[in-house]
Amino acid sequence: MDEMRIETGFMQGILARIVTKAMSKKIGVNLNLNFNDPISVKFDGEQAVIHLNVNAKLSKQDLARLVKDLV
């Protein structure tokens, strides 16, 4: 099993901006993501397992809309 770890704040910041932009576009809400711990990606054959510890900031209205869409 191969593993990749992204530990530097610089790389985590770049990935946070990319993921924030993609998720905001996909789910239609404005949010801001920050990674707390190193990002760990494990590759096992055809699968990739990603471990993230994330803080997400979004408005109460966007949160209510997301919860409503899920229920």
SS3 30: coil
Q: What percent of the chain has pLDDT over 90?
A: 75
pTM, two decimals, is 0.75
Residue 47 has pLDDT above 90, yes or no: yes
Which of 42, 50, 38 lies closest to 9 in space, CA to CA? Answer: 38
Residue 60 has pLDDT above 90, yes or no: yes
**Non-local CB neighbours of 27 within 8 Å, separated by 6+ positions:** 66
Q: How remote is the C-alpha of 17 from its chain's centroid?
A: 9
Across the chain, mean pLDDT equals: 92
Residue 3: the pLDDT is 93
Using pLDDT thresholds of 50, 70 and 90, give the confidence band for residue 71.
confident
